[in-house]
Structures are given as C-alpha cells and as structure tokens.
Copies of this chain bind each other. A is one copy, B any other.
C-alpha cells in the first residue's frame, strides 16, 4: 500500500516542485494539499503543468482532517507558519519534513537570533538537520526533519569532505553563491518582477543572510570548533540553479588530484553527488530538474589556495528533491526512488 502524503503549502515553487517529484514516486500517493490562497481550487488550475497527473483540490489547513488522510507530511510554508503547524502533526504521530527554517537549528537561541522567538523549542531535539550527506543515520529515525536551505546545501556539500579531513584553514573561507530567481519564492514582490531581474545581477544581504548560521552551525559541529565564513548570495537572471564558488586555503601544499580523491572517497556511496574530473567544472544547467549536486575542484598547487565549485538545482537538491530524499530515508525506501529523473538539458 502506498504511503499517503500531504503537502502543507502546495502552491509556492517548492510546493509545485514537491508535487512534480512525488507524482513520479512509485510508493507514495498525494492525498492532501493545503493552500490559504487557493483553498477550494483544483491544483491543476493553479499549476496547469500538473494537469493529467493530479486531480485534487487545495484545502484550508485542518490538522484533524488532513491527519486522517495522510501518513506523512511535507510543510512548504514560510518559517514561523511552520512551527505553528508542525507540532500538531507531530502530536498526531505524523512524521514531517519541514522545508522552512523552523526546525533546522537544534539550538533555539541561534534560531531566535536570526529569525524570531521559537514557539516549540522542545521539539527541536526531535528534529534532525536534513542533509543526508551529513546526517543520514539520524534522519532515518527522525520524527521531524528540518530540510536544509538551498544555499547551505550547495555550500556544505562543497566543504564537508575538507572539514572532515581537516585539510583547510578555518579562517578566510569565502562562499560566493549565485542563485536563480525561484529561490526568492512565488511571493508577488517588486524585486521578483521579470523586468527588475532580467539582464541584471546583484548581491544582497551581505553578512546577514539567514542561511549563514545554518552553514556555520553545521560546519562548526563537524569540525568541533567554531567556524565563521564569509557568505554572499547573488541573484542572477534564470529560473533555477545555484552555483556556489568556495574559496579555501589548504593547510599544506596539495595537488588537485588529492583533493578530488578526498571528495571521491567521502561521497563514494552518495547517489546524488557527481564529481567532475580534473580540468572540468560544473554548470547549473547540467543539474536542472534533478537532485544532483555536481562538484568541481581547482587547486593552485604552488600556494595551497583552492576553489571548490558546486552546482545544484535550488528547487530540487536545494529544496523539494532533498525533501523527498529525506522522506525516502525516513520510510526505508531506496534513496533514489522518485528522484531518478535526469537533468533537463538544454
């Protein structure tokens, strides 16, 4: 029998992408969708791309009604809204992957410093940060998974092997990320209008983007010492994709091949990590629509400077694909189930 799945907040870009992937998944069935804005409307009317694949109306959120219809929950609502909802599903015994920031931090203080008061701090100990490449075992048993932010996914995957091996200086790590516009969500704001974004590029939220503590927190936990990084996100004129360029210093002279080997070994069994051979670099276009994270490495062998470049689709590996990957781990399905779609090129 298929797992019945509900999507809370189905009408944003992560919502529709979650539906696309879940509808391809052979072991789940989407049985409930909620949307404040489109309650009562057929989802295929909101997203004509889904016509023929899903015939379900958006409904208002009722914990009781939804809980009867579903076995598993994805919350794709904004932070703050998520922590108002997740606890009720938790109490009903439903396991949840939350795509907001509300369950990404185990320390409520960190969350509260960057967001607002956390209304369910007790639940944080039940939640796991949903980066499978770091926390697969804990995710398996988790009641609540805090699905990572899009930028942290691209940044962490590029740094984990180097931090695990203690190969780099923890001073002066610079993370320069370039994101497509869907990362800003489907909110109707001036800055997301086509004519404001197209044919332009800008940096934003320098030193203060909310994904910074997520990156620093996970790296610090891994290194078992406090790591600060410089992180600057940029918006570029495309729908999907994040390219993350990471600048590091190796503690001793290394060759590019050694660093690549470290990546190969660390990610050997990872189904969604692809590492480019020496001399080749990733392009977000090669991962579009897929759950892959492609990685490239260049070392300046004479002085130990290194650049790691990662490419993901922010809506897939950076959000909904990773969420399905987490669900697969939680429910004991093969990790690639429903996620074996190939990238769409061109």
Contact = CB atoms under 8 A, between A and B. Distances in A.
A305 B230 contact: yes
Contacts of A198: 181, 194, 198, 237-239, 346
Interface in A136-177: 172, 174, 176
Contact of A200 (B50, B182, B241, B245): B241
A298 interface: yes
A194 B178 contact: no
Nearest to A290: B49
B193 A240 contact: no
Contacts of A237: 194, 198, 236-238
A331 interface: no
Nearest to A47: B345
Interface string A268-292: 0000001010001111111111101
Given A203-B281, A243-B202, A342 B24 contact: yes
A284 B344 CA distance: 15
B189 A192 contact: no
A274 B241 contact: no
A94 interface: no
Given A48-B276, A49-B343, A178-B236, 5 more contacts: A47-B345, A178-B201, A182-B195, A193-B194, A206-B281
7 contacts: A49-B343, A53-B342, A182-B346, A200-B241, A202-B309, A232-B245, A232-B307
- The 3 A-B residue pairs with the shortest CB-CB distance, nearest first, are A200-B285, A195-B346, A49-B345
